[in-house]
Each structure stands twice: as structure tokens, then as C-alpha cells.
Amino acid sequence: MKKISAAITGVHGFVPKDILSNEDLSKIVDTSDEWILSRTGIKERRIMKDGASSDMAMEAVNALLRKKNIDPLEIELVIVGTVTPDHPFPSTANVLCDKTGMKNAWGFDLNAACSGFLFALSTGAQFIETGKYKKVLVVGVDKMTSIVDYQDRTTCVIFGDGAGVVLLEPNEEGLGIQDFILRSDGSGREFLVQPAGGSAMPPSHETIDQRMHYVKQEGKQVYKFAVTNMAEVSAEIMEKNNLTSDDVAWLVPHQANLRIIDATANRMGLPSEKVMINIQKYGNTTAGTLPLCLWDYESQLKKGDNIILSAFGGGFTWGAVYIKWAYNS
């Protein structure tokens, strides 16, 4: 029997139509276009004024199923990477399956912050590789504007809203997900956290007054960890699979900060033309960044291309996935 690997056979994304530019932000908090652009590489981000994470995910999923001409009833499993679920429970995956008519699928949410899509992709792949399922959807979605404090200029300039989805199917040609390295270190939790709303700090008048339901970030600490670990794990997966920089067609990096992306590409020995970047348009959409990159660049991807996906997020969580791209679009 030939070895079955899990291949991405389709991708789609969704971003809301409303744009929040750096100029717009400079009217809300003490910042400027030059300050944001020089430190992050972000020019604008999309914001979802009405609706929840499941609504963005629904748009991406429906478009992908139409594009692939797949009946929603054929989908067997849905994994949603998100830190902004519609509700603490039920899961956004449950809501999404209902909204899209995927009545035969079961699913769950996976919370790994900005590494959410990587963790979900690696998890979803297992169900394909074992032969258990034939069609698995992996979603990365976040409505970051719902947990961002627009009085905090250090965080509100970074984040945006968006969703992306990939379809995983079995492949016997040796294409698809080849390897992954995933890591976490909970000792870094205090540096990037949404403190209130869970069992450690349930909602109260006090938590609301103290603005504890918003993202809190120690920027310098997060940057230091991210710039080292994201670069190292990306180089590690190349070495483990005997890949040179010439062998790698694309780096798909988490879109948090242009300087972190540059450091990762440099560590891998990749020129800028091999690096997917859309941070200038969307900002950091947390679990949405990687599938949105694949969606934006899909037309440039060729069957057999060696692609490295890489991310770093709150937790801390980080990792890299090595994929052989499975189709020409």
C-alpha cells in the first residue's frame, strides 16, 4: 500500500470590506503612519463591524466548497484555529458547520494564538494520514478587533480581522504535508495574554473597569522570543529534511511584524522574492495569516513546490510545517 499523505487541495480566504488605515488610527491614539509602518510593516487592516468569527469563516468555507464543487455534506471534520470564538462554548466549529450545512462533520476549536493554523493543520493531517477521513477542513479565523484595546497604541495598530480555510485530502504521490515541528512554552504566557474572561479571572465590574478583557502584550519580550524561535524552527525543519535555500520555493511566515519575517527569511537563506507578505494590507489576523497568504499567492504556487509555513504566537507557541504543494491552480 502506498503511503498516504495529507495534501492541501484548495484554499480560500475572506477579509471584511471595511479598512482601518494608519491615518485612521492616528486620529484615535497617539501614533502615525510612519511610526506604525517603520516598526511593523503594516499600512492598513480590515475590520468586521458586524458579525462574528463564524461569519468570516462561513464566507471562506462557502467560497472554497463552490470553487472545488464539493457538497458540504462530504466534509467529515472541521478544525478551527481561533482565539476569538463566537462564544466560550459551543465551539465556533459547531456554529460554522451549522451555518454552512456541513451536517455530517464534527469539529472543534483549537487555541494556539498566532500558531493556531499551524497546530490545526498538523492535527487535521493526522486524520487523513491514518486513512480515517477523506475530506478535512482546517480554518484559521480571528476577529481581533473584538479583543483589541483602542486606547493601547502598542497593540491596536497590529491586529486586523480575517479568515482562511484549506481543504485536506489524501495524496499517494508523495505530495502534501511532509513534516512538522511544533513547540510550546507556557512560561511565556504573561507576555502575551487576554487576562480576563476565563476561570482564572471571571468577568466582573472590576475586570471590565481595568480593561482586562483586551489583549495585553509586553512587546519587547514577545519580539525577542519570536525573532529567535520562529527563525530557529524554520531552519531546523529545513535541516531535518535536508533542504537547502535553493530547494525551498516559498516561506509562508506568520504576519506579525516585518522585522520578524525578515529575520526568519535570513536565517533560512531565502531572498525576499521567496517570502509571502501581505501584512501591509491585513495586519496581524492571528490564526488567519497563513491561509490568507496561501490564498493571496495561490496562483503562483506550482505542483511539487517545497513550502515552509512558520509561526509564533501567545502561549508561547511556535512551529514550522514543511509541505510539498499538490496542485497547479
Q: Are 118 and 321 in contact (CB under 8 A)?
A: yes
> Which position among 22, 254, 293, 306 bears the catalytic label?
254
Q: Are 53 and 84 in contact (CB under 8 A)?
A: yes
Q: Quote the cell numbers at residue 77.
A: 471534520
> What does DSSP say about strands 192-193 and 216-217: parallel, antiparallel, or unpaired?
antiparallel
Cα–Cα distance measured from residue 138 to residue 170, given in angstroms and rounded to the nearest whole number: 14
Domains in the chain: ranges and CATH? 5-174 (3.40.47.10), 178-324 (3.40.47.10)
Q: Quote the cell numbers at residue 190.
A: 504573561
For residue 106, how many other CB atoms are within 10 A of its CB?
A: 11
- Tell the residue number behind the cell numbers 494608519, with chain if given: 22
> What does DSSP say about strands 106-110 and 77-81: parallel, antiparallel, or unpaired?
parallel
Q: What is the per-residue pLDDT across 196-217, written as a single tens digit (0 to 9) for each?
A: 999 999 999 999 999 999 999 9
Is a pLDDT exceeding 80 seen at residue 311? yes
Is a pLDDT exceeding 90 seen at residue 249? yes
3-state secondary structure 81-102: ECCCCCCCCCCHHHHHHHHHCC
What pTM, to 2 d.p., does this model score? 0.98
Confidence label for 248 from pLDDT (cuts 50, 70 and 90): very high
Predicted confidence at residue 225, as pLDDT, reads 97
Mean pLDDT computed over 156-185: 98
Backbone angles phi, psi at 162, to 5 degrees: 175, 165
Instruction: Round the average pLDDT of the chain to a whole number and report it.
Output: 98
284 is catalytic: yes
- How much of the chain, in percent, has pLDDT values that exceed 70? 100
> Which position among 114, 257, 278, 306 bears the catalytic label?
114
Is a pLDDT exceeding 90 seen at residue 1? no
Q: Are 111 and 89 in contact (CB under 8 A)?
A: no
> Which position among 97, 284, 293, 306 bears the catalytic label?
284
CA-CA distances (angstroms) from residue 274 to 10, 163, 259, 270, 294? 21, 23, 16, 6, 13
205 is catalytic: no
Predicted confidence at residue 2, as pLDDT, reads 87
For residue 26, give the H/E element and its range. helix 22-26
Q: Are 16 and 148 in contact (CB under 8 A)?
A: no
171 is catalytic: no
- Tell the residue number behind the cell numbers 530557529, with chain if given: 232
